[in-house]
């Protein structure tokens, strides 16, 4: 039985193809990445898509085609990002659910995001959450700071449990503008999670990736990794393929006596049975 959920976030919306030619931006590259990451131990894929010029897009047909292609070629839990890029309008982000993913990310508040602002006003969060309940899509609550943990309490108190009855949160740590990617911040955030939380994972952006992964394992949490979050394996050593990051945390998990979950086990964890 697996007891470690590994999510791969292979692409993101921030890195350009010119800056990182190995970033999977086409559908073929995304499918190949998803297959290799599943073979390496991932059970869920957090998906951002790109257009023909490799720019972030929320094009509805592309999103639908992506969900279908990932379902045909892998067993992974398919999670579409509703965060998109910092330039995506809120109404386009709501339409992501029209693609019928298994899961969607749902960020619990507005965050300074480097020099930009990742906008998640409270009415938008509430609308997206209720839409996920109506559409039977399981949300993953993305928490960029401690205030967003408090917002998750408010959301669950007001609107009840997600579709499927499980509450899965993901601590996104080390964004310039959010909480730091440290063991101390992870411990404080985990202590503050709502009692309804049934599972949580964590990811550390950039050089905080290893500190966050180790702290998460130490606290019994799950892991997200991928080129959305980190582009180097060590100083000056670029990631060549997302499966390197998955294999690295599988090894960390092995040392911590944790076994990667299969996608089927992940579906049970997340209330998708
Ligand atoms: N690209 C970031 C602005 C999510 O996927 O839900 C937002 C993000 C969060 O990546
Ligand atoms: Zn994302």
Verify whether ligand 1 is closer than 6 Å to residue 81 (CB atom). Answer: yes
Residue with tokens 């080390």: 174
Cα–ligand 2 centroid distance for 112 (angstroms): 15
Tens of pLDDT along 59-96? 999 999 999 999 999 999 999 999 999 999 999 999 99
**pLDDT, tens digit (0-9, with 9 covering 90-100), for 11-47:** 999 999 999 999 999 999 999 999 999 999 999 999 9
Q: Give pLDDT tens digits for 225-258.
A: 999 999 999 999 999 999 999 999 999 999 999 9
Site to probe by mutation for ligand 1, drawn from 10, 46, 78, 83 as the one with most ligand atoms within 8 Å of Cβ, is 83
Ligand 1 mean position, distance from CA 1 (Å): 31
E strand map for 24-128: 44-47, 49-50, 56-57, 77-80, 103-107, 111-113, 116-118
**What's the chain's average pLDDT?**
98
Dihedral over alpha carbons 26, 31, 37, 41 (to 10 degrees): 150
Q: Which ligand is nearest to the CA of 93?
A: 1
Q: Please indicate whether residue 83, judged by its CB atom, sits closer than 6 Å to ligand 1.
A: yes
- Which atom of ligand 1 is found nearest the CA of 118? 3
* 185 in Cβ contact with 219 (< 8 Å): no
What is the distance between the alpha carbons of residues 3 and 217, in angstroms, rounded to a whole number?
Answer: 11
């Amino acid at each position: 039985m697996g007891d470690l959920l590994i999510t791969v976030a292979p692409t993101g919306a921030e890195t350009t193809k010119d800056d990182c030619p190995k970033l999977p931006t086409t559908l073929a590259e995304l499918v190949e990445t998803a297959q290799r990451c599943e073979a390496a131990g991932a059970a869920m894929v957090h998906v951002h898509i790109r257009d023909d010029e490799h720019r972030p897009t929320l094009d509805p047909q592309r999103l639908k085609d992506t969900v279908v292609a990932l379902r045909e070629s892998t067993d992974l839990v398919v999670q579409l990002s509703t965060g998109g890029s910092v330039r995506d309008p809120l109404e386009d982000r709501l339409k992501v659910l029209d693609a019928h993913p298994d899961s969607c990310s749902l960020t619990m508040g507005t965050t300074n995001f480097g020099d930009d602002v990742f906008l998640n006003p409270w009415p938008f969060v509430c609308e997206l959450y209720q839409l996920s309940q109506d559409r039977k899509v399981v949300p993953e609550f993305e928490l960029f700071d401690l205030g967003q943990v408090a917002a998750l309490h408010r959301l669950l108190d007001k609107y009840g449990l997600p579709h499927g009855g499980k509450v899965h949160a993901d601590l996104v740590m080390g964004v310039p503008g959010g909480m730091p990617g440290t063991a101390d911040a992870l411990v404080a955030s985990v202590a503050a999670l709502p009692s309804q939380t049934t599972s949580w994972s964590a990811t550390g952006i950039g050089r905080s990736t290893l500190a966050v992964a180790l702290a998460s394992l130490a606290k019994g949490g799950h892991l997200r990794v991928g080129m959305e979050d980190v582009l180097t394996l060590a100083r000056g050593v670029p990631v060549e393929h997302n499966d390197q990051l998955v294999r690295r945390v599988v090894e960390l998990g092995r040392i911590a006596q944790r076994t990667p979950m299969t996608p089927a086990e992940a579906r049970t964890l997340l209330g998708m049975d």
